[in-house]
Structure 1
Amino acid sequence: MTWNQQVVKANNKQYILQMIKAQAPISRAEIAKQLGLTKGTVSSLVSELIDANLCYESGPGESSGGRRPVMLLFNGKAGFSIGINIGVNYILGILTDLNGEIISEQKKTINKGTYEEVMKIVSQIIHYLIGSKPDSHYGVIGIGVGVPGIVNKEEEVLLAPNLGWKNINLKKELEKEFNLPVIIENEANAGAYGEKVFGAGRETDNLIYLSASIGIGVGFIFNNQLYRGAEGYSGEMGHMIIEANGKDCTCGSQGCWEQYASEQSLLKSAQALLQSKSDITLEYLIEEAKTSQEIRALFTKIGHYLGIGINNISNTFNPEQIIIGNRLAMAKDLLMDSITGFVKSNTLKHSRSSLEIQFSDLSIYSSALGVSAQTIEAFLANTLFEQTN
């Protein structure tokens, strides 16, 4: 078989598997009809997918006049993927099957530990998730990690200002420890991808995901593709200047958006208001806002500043949808009115006319699900190509 023949075969097999995943239960005849392939080609490639434990046959479907067709389903339990979201104040790990269904999870709170301390917790979570996996043909097929920082094309973390990281190669470290493929992704990019595959962005071609937590990151989906920029550095809009000579930022600049519209900004304002020396959490403030007008005003102010950034994003990119996720999504009822109020008053009419702004239903899971999905896709693509050799 020539190289071109191998590529064509692997691509056809991938199209067939994608169709089975999306439309199951589905027959061989229907796959052949939709893809324009011969029934013999489809039958041969499906047999290989069954041999690889990636799909299986179920009972017969409805007949269109002849013999009732045997239906095909994707085997989501053939293997499992690990998705890790490293936040500034928490680390979330999930184990998903090949359909992205969460099988087990573990979340641990952190307080700006050193790189070594954070990675020790990441390692513990991964060991826990591996230990919790059910029996399967492929076992754990890979690990995806979302990091709140600048990640280059080689998947090195060049800068994560809110973590205090510079020039970190955790991909190499994790692959050595666990002997598994590892994907490192910017946390907001991962969140955008998670929303596109599993969340509110499934029906949208052009969306922007806003990860709003201790810091702010932005991920772009343009024409159904994740956009990373020329060198992989896109989305650092948390460091967009919204106030000249404003508050100092961890990135070294002043007046950055995340200094006014993030969870960190909210907590600092609440600390000053309550004159409290004890730790104040977002969860505590959400509860207090039910009875305190002053606390509600803090959320309104954060929403106002979120609206400023969303206004700039909308006027620049004209997306169909902006999805706000991560921890501040828990406060959507306290933030939405001030966000939409600012956008309605300031965003260009043509930019806002078809814009949908909403909070993520996936909350803090968007990024972990996103890197898990990327890991699954890489595994399936590699497995299908290897079968053609």
Structure 2
Amino acid sequence: MKEINKSIVTDIIRSQHPVSRARISEITGLNKATVSSLIDELIHEGLVIELGTGPSAVGRRPRMLGFNGRAGYAVGVAIDLHEVRFLLIDLLGKLEKSLVIASPVGMEVEQTVYQVVDVVQQIVQSAPSSPLGVIGVGIAVPGLVDFKKGVVWNAPNLHWINIPLRKMLEAHLDLPVFIDNESNMGAIAEQWLGKGQNYSNFVYLSVTTGLGSGIVVNRQLMRGSGGIAGEVGHMVVVVDGLLCSCGNRGCLEMYASEKSLIEIFQQKSGKEVSTVEEIFQRAENGDVLAKAAISSVGRYLATGINNLIHTCNPESVIVGGRITRFQSLLWEAMQPVLSKSMVDSFFHTKLEWSTLGQNAISLGAASLVIDHRFAKPTIL
């Protein structure tokens, strides 16, 4: 019972700091002596710090408590087709270190595991000294993931099928490892540190090499009965359309992702490009074919968002991924498709662009580790 109460007090300080002992006693129903005893232990362990006195209408001013973000760290890793992003954050989400490693297309899963293990070990060794040290590693993968088992069922763009990724990584890392879909990780990051903080119900739409979404309902991530809710990239938008890497035809991902933008431009122009940045640069310089490719992707992206609005009725759809750097060019094509459903109807959904940058997915992966370590316990 003591450990449960201690966890409850820790969660309150972490989520509501600065907070006073009296307020914690009021929230938990625990007497003030018990609260003080638990807080003394947390201060001794380095998890809680005293911040000084707070305001008071009458009587003595309360001594405020804060959560010590520097008490420990978490590693976040985002695996994509062309690169792997790593970061180290403290327990309050402050970025300590980040780096990007190129990942050759078609690299075998064993090579990716060795690459991830090597870099994570370097990050752990270089992490600042702290009471808890590095508490775990979160891995974001673009594909279908069994979160509970840590197994990647199918990551089409990586050509991974039924990969026990958590087991493979934990065999080399003396740390707990958590595996989840990249879009879910993005939604977690938005909910903790991004625009998702403002909403109880929102959808995070990840637009990268592929396309997926993380759906938050009543402040809880919706995983679905099999754990694969949010795979909007594989909703069919063109019957008998282009063949997708998932095996189906006409998936949204084939028309509204970074990969599709590159393919559309190359088909229209006959020119080879390797990055979406090149296409947007051409468009900004007046290239008509680049603008046409962006317009096509924008319309399909808006169609997918429109479907999400009608399906989920969220307060907001937050678009993330590298492509958000070029939101003004995309918005011109998206606006006509979205205007009716988002402005003139009863849905009242806001379309917003993520401000978390290119580290959003790896930030969510690290956040998942912290959420698990300090999961809110059930009062018995």
TM-score (normalizing by structure 2): 0.92
Q: How does 1:246-285 map to 2 (within 5 A)?
A: 246-277=241-272, 279-285=273-279
Shift of 1:243: 0.5
Q: Of residues 159, 171, 177 in structure 1, which corresponds to 2:172? A: 177
Distance 1:83 1:37 in 2: 36
Residue 317 (structure 1) aligns with: 312
Distance 2:246 2:187 in 1: 23
Deviations 1:23-49 (A, max 9, x none): 333221232234443212221221222
> 1:180 aligns to what SS in structure 2?
coil
> 1:178 aligns to what SS in structure 2?
coil
Residue 119 (structure 2) aligns with: 125
Q: Aligned residues, how many?
A: 376
Distance 2:69 2:95 in 1: 12
Letter in 1 for 2:285: T
Query: Structure 1 residue 56 and structure 2 residue 66: aligned?
Result: no
Query: Structure 1 residue 366 and structure 2 residue 375: aligned?
Result: no
Q: Is the contact made by 2:183 and 2:361 (CA closer than 8 Å) also made in structure 1?
A: yes
Q: How does 1:84-99 map to 2 (within 5 A)?
A: 84-99=77-92
Letter in 2 for 1:356: K
Distance 2:221 2:357 in 1: 20
Residue 202 (structure 1) aligns with: 197
Q: Could you say what the CA RMSD is over the residues aligned between the two structures, in angstroms? A: 2.2
Per mean C-alpha deviation after superposition, the further-off stretch among 39-48 and 320-329 is 39-48
Shift of 1:130: 1.3
Check 1:110–1:274 CA distance in 2 against 1; reply closer, same or farther (3 A cut). Answer: farther
Deviations 1:232-287 (A, max 9, x none): 1211111111001100110111101000000001111222344334x431222222
Shift of 1:11: 4.6
Deviations 1:56-95 (A, max 9, x none): 2233334544344322111111110001111122211110
Query: Structure 1 residue 156 and structure 2 residue 147: aligned?
Result: no
Per mean C-alpha deviation after superposition, the further-off stretch among 65-74 and 127-136 is 65-74
Distance 1:199 1:346 in 2: 24
Query: Structure 1 residue 342 and structure 2 residue 337: aligned?
Result: yes
Distance 2:245 2:266 in 1: 19
Where structure 2 has 5 or more consecutive residues not aligned to the other structure, the ranges are none
Check 1:284–1:47 CA distance in 2 against 1; reply closer, same or farther (3 A cut). Answer: same
Q: Is the contact made by 2:150 and 2:167 (CA closer than 8 Å) also made in structure 1?
A: no
Per mean C-alpha deviation after superposition, the further-off stretch among 206-215 and 124-133 is 124-133
Q: Is the contact made by 1:105 and 1:129 (CA closer than 8 Å) also made in structure 2?
A: no
> 2:198 aligns to what SS in structure 1?
coil
Deviations 1:86-113 (A, max 9, x none): 1122211110000011100111232322
Residue 102 (structure 2) aligns with: 109
Shift of 1:344: 1.8
Query: Structure 1 residue 165 and structure 2 residue 193: aligned?
Result: no
Residue 24 (structure 1) aligns with: 17
Distance 2:82 2:339 in 1: 33
Per mean C-alpha deviation after superposition, the further-off stretch among 111-120 and 61-70 is 61-70
Distance 2:69 2:343 in 1: 45
Q: Is the contact made by 1:104 and 1:132 (CA closer than 8 Å) also made in structure 2?
A: no
Query: Structure 1 residue 305 and structure 2 residue 291: aligned?
Result: no
Distance 1:381 1:196 in 2: 15
Shift of 1:351: 5.2
Q: Of residues 208, 227, 236 in structure 2, which corresponds to 1:232? A: 227
Check 1:247–1:171 CA distance in 2 against 1; reply closer, same or farther (3 A cut). Answer: same
Q: How does 1:63-102 map to 2 (within 5 A)?
A: 63-102=56-95
Residue 3 (structure 1) aligns with: none
Q: Is the contact made by 1:158 and 1:168 (CA closer than 8 Å) also made in structure 2?
A: yes
Q: Is the contact made by 1:271 and 1:280 (CA closer than 8 Å) also made in structure 2?
A: no
Deviations 1:150-179 (A, max 9, x none): 112312101000100001011011111111
Distance 1:165 1:182 in 2: 18
Q: Is the contact made by 2:342 and 2:350 (CA closer than 8 Å) also made in structure 1?
A: no
Shift of 1:220: 0.6
Shift of 1:191: 0.8
Distance 1:34 1:77 in 2: 26
Q: Is the contact made by 2:75 and 2:120 (CA closer than 8 Å) also made in structure 1?
A: yes
Distance 1:75 1:10 in 2: 19
Distance 2:268 2:237 in 1: 23
> What percent of counterpart residues are identical?
37
Distance 2:275 2:223 in 1: 32
Deviations 1:11-32 (A, max 9, x none): 5433422332233332212322
Distance 1:31 1:143 in 2: 31
Distance 1:238 1:381 in 2: 30
Distance 2:139 2:234 in 1: 22
Letter in 1 for 2:73: F
